[in-house]
A and B are shown apart, each in its own frame.
Chain A
């Protein structure tokens, strides 16, 4: 079946602009996660959704970051007023059981 998809695959934006990153999870997966991965680094947890609600937003780096999930499916991560330090790969994962997480290919964000 279809895996997790993310769009766009690459995004180059100017400092100060807003960006939206999209995640389409595997159908039926109730849990959804966003992570950030800087060059050569590990996975930094950002936010977790169970259904449409986000019990844990503690990983969001600042109030410029927000995320929503609609219909228990698609999720959007929004970064307002982007800064150069926001440049990274943003990964989305979904899970049927909060244990086995299945990742998308990521969105590579470059802020110039």
Chain B
């Protein structure tokens, strides 16, 4: 089945720094999504990308749908302590009876104040 490789697995950064993480696949997806999970909570949808090459922002977060459709990137600018959590990417292919998201294993972000 399809697999997503998400990197890095973990990051330790200082408050104020910018963060980049990415997700790659061996096969094409036509939708990419990024989620954030706070400790003890369920994942929250941050950004959904529907078009190859699309660049979408949500506050300090910017995500891009790779032109090859096999990757996606998430950037966080000027990190703050509440950015701590696990960030998951997910891919989706429409068509037929498909209904599942394929999730990456997550990037654990720690922000030192």
**Residues of A that sit less than 8 Å from B by CB:** 4, 31, 41-43, 45, 48, 50, 55-56, 91, 93, 98-106
Contact A101 B48 (CB under 8 A): no
Q: List 30 A-B contacts (CB under 8 A).
A: A4-B42, A31-B99, A42-B88, A42-B105, A42-B106, A43-B43, A43-B103, A45-B100, A48-B99, A55-B97, A55-B99, A56-B99, A93-B42, A98-B99, A99-B31, A99-B48, A99-B92, A99-B101, A100-B33, A100-B45, A101-B45, A101-B101, A102-B45, A103-B35, A103-B42, A103-B43, A103-B44, A105-B40, A105-B41, A106-B42
Q: Report how many A-B pairs have Cβ atoms within 8 Å.
A: 47
What bracket does the count of chain B residues touching chain A fall in?
20 to 34
List residues of chain B with CB within 8 A of the CB of A50. 99
Q: Which residues, 25 to 52 on B, are CB-close (under 8 Å) to A?
A: 31, 33, 35, 40-45, 48
B94 CB within 8 Å of chain A: yes
Q: Which of A48, A55, A100 has the most CB of B within 10 A?
A: A100
Tell me, rounded to whole Å, the shortest Cβ–Cβ distance linking A96 to chain B.
12
B104 CB within 8 Å of chain A: yes
Query: Closest chain A residue to B104 by CB distance?
Result: A42
Contact A105 B42 (CB under 8 A): yes
> How would you classify the secondary structure of chain B's contact residues: helix, strand, loop or mixed?
loop
Give the complex CA separation of A91 and B92 in angstroms.
19
Query: Closest chain A residue to B31 by CB distance?
Result: A99
Contact A104 B42 (CB under 8 A): yes
Contact B99 A100 (CB under 8 A): no
Query: Closest chain B residue to A105 by CB distance?
Result: B42
Contact B103 A42 (CB under 8 A): yes
List residues of chain A with CB within 8 A of the CB of B42. 4, 91, 93, 103-106
Give the complex CA separation of A93 and B33 in angstroms.
14
The 8 tightest CB contacts between A and B, nearest first, are A103-B42, A42-B105, A98-B99, A43-B103, A103-B43, A105-B42, A106-B42, A104-B42
List residues of chain B with CB within 8 A of the CB of A31. 99
Contact B94 A99 (CB under 8 A): yes
Query: Closest chain B residue to A44 by CB distance?
Result: B103
List residues of chain B with CB within 8 A of the CB of A93. 42
